[in-house]
Structure 1
Amino acid sequence: MTLRRFLPLALLTSFALGSCEKDGGAAPAASLLEARWMLTYVDEVPVQTSSYSGTARSYIEFSALGNSTVGLGPCNNFSGRFSLGGGQQLQLSMPIPTQTSCPVQALETRYLNNLAATTRYEISGDALRLYDGSTVAPRLVFRRAGQ
């Protein structure tokens, strides 16, 4: 089969997926998307590596395609969804993790719960801070990968 036969199908699929989950609100912030955000703090507790290995780091990525998130917690991979509102409003669904237990399970539980409690974000330089509605300090702090 030739590429010409697949082009209409690819365009139709792209259009259909691009129209999903539109909230009619603000366009996704380009600085939030298309980046891997490495977890550095959970409730002001530093996080250096994941329990996967001495070199793996916990992270989150935001994708405009389906407003989805993927990431790695201290113990498990996870996925979820997000929505952006006006200003810096951000809501994340409760992440769905794989089911591996590990010695730092309590830290992962706090990480995932804090993601689900997020109501707004702030990006300053290479840092992403996620806040809930009840505290002044960020619940989660990330650093853009490669920085």
Structure 2
Amino acid sequence: MPLAFRLPAAAAALLLLAPACSYDLSERPNAGSTANSADRPVPTSAPLRNVRWELRELDGQPAPATEQRPFLVLRDGRARAEGRAACNRFSGPYTLAAEGRLRLGPLVTTRSACPDLATEGAFMRALNQAQRYRIQGNTLSLYAADTREVPLATLQATAGE
């Protein structure tokens, strides 16, 4: 094989080999495991961002049944909150000043004619008043100011986003 051909091939092999050698397996979930995903442990808490949080309770009471369940998604990277407040969709910015502190808004909504706006209004008020949060397992609780008594809203992480 001529030397002119072997040199580019060796350089290409070196370029492909270098990134493979520097890959940190500890960054991969379940590194080195060949088990099925069903055998892997479930995270103890859902992450705050990029999760569909569906409304379960408002002011300590079960959320009223609506045609479409209200939900909230906090997008990572864009710091954008979006979701549905029963009938109308909403979106707006959010800020995380520190662990456990969350501010939503100002949130803007569509203005569709809806049969029941009471649940929608209560959910939007809860989102606008929220200043603190806590995640336990797959449950997100939103609180006003420094109170940790009855949450303004309780939401549950769901599979769909």
- TM-score (normalizing by structure 1): 0.70
Letter in 2 for 1:142: L
Of 41, 55, 66, the match for 2:57: 41
Q: Distance in 2 between matches of 1:94 and 1:103?
A: 25
Letter in 2 for 1:106: A
Task: Assess, with a 3 A threshold, how the Cα gap between structure 1 residues 120 and 98 changes in structure 2: closer, same or farther.
Answer: same
Letter in 2 for 1:95: L
Write the deviation string for residues 69-116 of structure 1: whole angstroms up to 9, x where unpaired: 110111211111110012211000132111013232122111111101
SS at match of 2:150: coil
Task: Assess, with a 3 A threshold, how the Cα gap between structure 1 residues 46 and 94 changes in structure 2: closer, same or farther.
Answer: farther
Q: Which residue of 2 aligns with 1:62?
A: 74
Of 117, 121, 124, the match for 2:136: 124
Q: Distance in 1 between matches of 2:119 and 2:129?
A: 15
- Provide the aligned length of Structure 1 versus Structure 2: 114
Q: Which residue of 1 aligns with 2:152?
A: 139
Of 90, 96, 100, the match for 2:102: 90
What is the CA-CA distance between 1:42 and the residue it aligns to? Answer: 1.3
Q: Distance in 2 between matches of 1:134 and 1:114?
A: 14
Task: Assess, with a 3 A threshold, how the Cα gap between structure 1 residues 134 and 101 changes in structure 2: closer, same or farther.
Answer: farther
- Across the aligned residues of Structure 1 and Structure 2, the Cα RMSD in angstroms comes to 2.0
What is the CA-CA distance between 1:65 and the residue it aligns to? Answer: 2.6
For the 8 Å contact 2:132–2:146, the answer to whether it is kept is no
Q: Which has the larger radius of gyration?
A: 2
Write the deviation string for residues 44-91 of structure 1: whole angstroms up to 9, x where unpaired: 23225433xxxx321100012320011011121111111001221100
Letter in 1 for 2:72: I
SS at match of 2:130: coil
